[in-house]
Amino acid sequence: GCGGENKKSEKISLIQLTELGWDLFETTNYDSSLIVFTDAILDYPSENLSEVYSGRGWCYAYLGNYTDALNDIASAGSPNLDALAGSCFAYLALNDYNNAAVSGNSLIAANSSYIFSHDNTITSSDVRLAIAQAYFFLGNYANVILQLDVLAPGHGLTANSSSSAILAQLMVLDQIN
């Protein structure tokens, strides 16, 4: 043959690949979703792939591959709020507490009532808890308290409370969230 016979007669559009990737993600098929998002990146390298990189980044994060998650999230660029949320959680998982706090705070500043459109169990409260955890590990209890004021009004703690009391409150919230 002259080549071309084995090619797909019609390439799946970037929009269709993106929608399929997110559909698979939303049904917790993260491995399959990752493959679809990767196909989109390979098939459409010169297109705007912010949503695709965000999706693949979230797949990597849910699969526990936080370094690749952060690389894709960086490729998504800003102001992709889903990518910012993902980076907050990925940085926290990698013990990069400063960047976790920065990413989380950027998201909260952009949308204080954020809900991840592809998994509505992830909300601004989860981001705030991640920020609070990051600040706790940085020893910045005043900023932990600022997040607790939103997450658990009337918690009764101050920046001068014992670290064990602050940690106990964070653990309670982690169970709730």
Task: Indicate the pTM of the whole model.
Answer: 0.88
Q: Please tell me the distance from the alpha carbon of residue 152 to that of residue 136, in angstroms, as a whole number.
A: 16
Residue 156 Cα distances to 33, 81, 88, 161, 165, angstroms: 44, 32, 27, 9, 10
pLDDT tens digits, 63-104? 999 999 999 999 998 678 999 999 999 999 999 999 999 999
Q: What is residue 77's predicted lDDT score, i.e. its pLDDT? A: 81
DSSP helix/strand/coil, 123: strand
User: How many angstroms separate the first and last alpha carbons of the chain?
Assistant: 59
pLDDT tens digits, 1-47? 454 444 555 789 999 999 999 999 999 999 999 999 999 999 999 99
Q: What is residue 4's predicted lDDT score, i.e. its pLDDT? A: 47
pLDDT tens digits, 133-151? 999 999 999 999 999 999 9
Backbone angles phi, psi at 5, to 5 degrees: -65, -30
Q: How many residues make up the chain in this entry?
A: 177
